[in-house]
Amino acid sequence: MENVTVTERAVRRIGEILKGEPDGTMLRVSVEGGGCSGFQYKFDMDHAKAADDILIARADARVLIDQTSLGYLNGSEIDFVDDLIGASFRINNPNAKASCGCGTSFTL
């Protein structure tokens, strides 16, 4: 299995978000073409797990990642940061050669 980790801060925040959603809701993390650096991270709510999705389940957090995105996210850490510029999920991706200032897009 590919290696993607979710920090304790992210687990807590995902759990808080999912508690306000209908039962069975999961956070889908994916990578799409676009953004100012070539690829961008996308976060969505999803109710269905595809056959080839991986599911990361910790405490109340449920995270889905599709196989294509998994290739870009291998070795990454999903974190939740609350700092002066705002609160957001942040992906620390060792495969990214460059990223934009907002942290939502990257280059391989």
Mean pLDDT by 10 residues, the chain (108 residues): 86 96 96 78 95 95 96 94 86 78 53
| Token representation of residue 91 | 């992906």
Q: According to the model, what pLDDT value does residue 1 have?
A: 45
- Which one is the CATH code of 5-103: 3.40.50.720, 1.10.760.10, 3.40.47.10, 2.60.300.12? 2.60.300.12
The pLDDT of residue 46 is 97
Question: What integer pLDDT is reported at residue 9 of this predicted model?
Answer: 97
The closest of 59, 62, 68 to 39, measured between CA atoms, is 68
Question: How far is 19 from 94, CA to CA, in rounded Å?
Answer: 31
